[in-house]
Structure 1
């Protein structure tokens, strides 16, 4: 896999993450669960910035940034706060995996940026109620 391929895959994942965070935010009450709403808002903002940075990195690598899909399929109903939290943890697990794949394929500033973002996603899982893992982003090592 080339650096450009890894960038494109990571960007595609960020499109899906933003879509999902938008749905999760719409299914969360700022009045009833303010901490969850704030966490989802922070996650959405971080992923939006990440998506924007990835678009630039793809262009700098000579590619045309992959477009977002019209819609993404979500797993099951997201009606309760615990379901919303679990879905957000899944987003961060997937993001950590994709970013660490980018770390493995890149060097220099791209690698440093991807590692910083992977660390954020791995840590953010804990903020969202996820479990600490020995090898975040590498479930095959667990």
Structure 2
């Protein structure tokens, strides 16, 4: 897999993350769970920024950025705050895996950027209640 291909995989993951965080935010009550809504909003902004950066990186690497899907299949059961939080943890876990695959296939500034973003997602996942892992994003190493 080339660096452009790896960037495209992460970009597709980010399209899904932006969509999913929007849905999770819509399922969260600002009055009942303001801290959760703030966390989802922060994550949504980070993933949107990440998606935009990835588009630029794909173009700079000579590729045509993959487009977002019209919609994504989501778990309709994620309606209660604990379920929304669990869905966000899973989303960050998937992001860590995709970003670490990019780390493995890249060098220089792309690699540094992917490692920084993987670290953010792994830390954010713990902030959402996940158990810290020795090798986040690479459970086969644990």
Specify the TM-score bucket, using the shorter chain as the normaliser: over 0.9
1:91 counterpart = 2:88: no
TM superposition shift of 1:118: 0.3
Asked if 1:13 corresponds to 2:31, the answer is no
Provide, for residues 25-84 of structure 1, a one-character-per-residue CA deviation record: whole Å limited to 9, x for no partner: 000011100000000000000000000000000000000000000111112411100000
Task: Give ranges in structure 1 of 5+ residues lacking alignment.
Answer: none
Runs of 4+ off more than 3 Å: none
The residue aligned with 2:81 is 81
Tell me which residue corresponds to 1:36.
36
- Structure 2 CA distance for aligned equivalents of residues 66 and 45 of structure 1: 20
1:136 counterpart SS class: coil
- For 1:105-124, list aligned pairs within 5 A: 105-124=105-124
Q: Which moved more, 1:74-83 or 1:15-24?
A: 74-83
Aligned partner of 2:3 in structure 1 is 3
Q: Structure 2: any 5+ residue segments left out of the alignment?
A: none
Partner SS state of residue 99, structure 1:
helix
Counterpart of 1:59? 59
TM-score, structure 1 length as denominator? 0.98
Size of the aligned set, in residue pairs, is 142
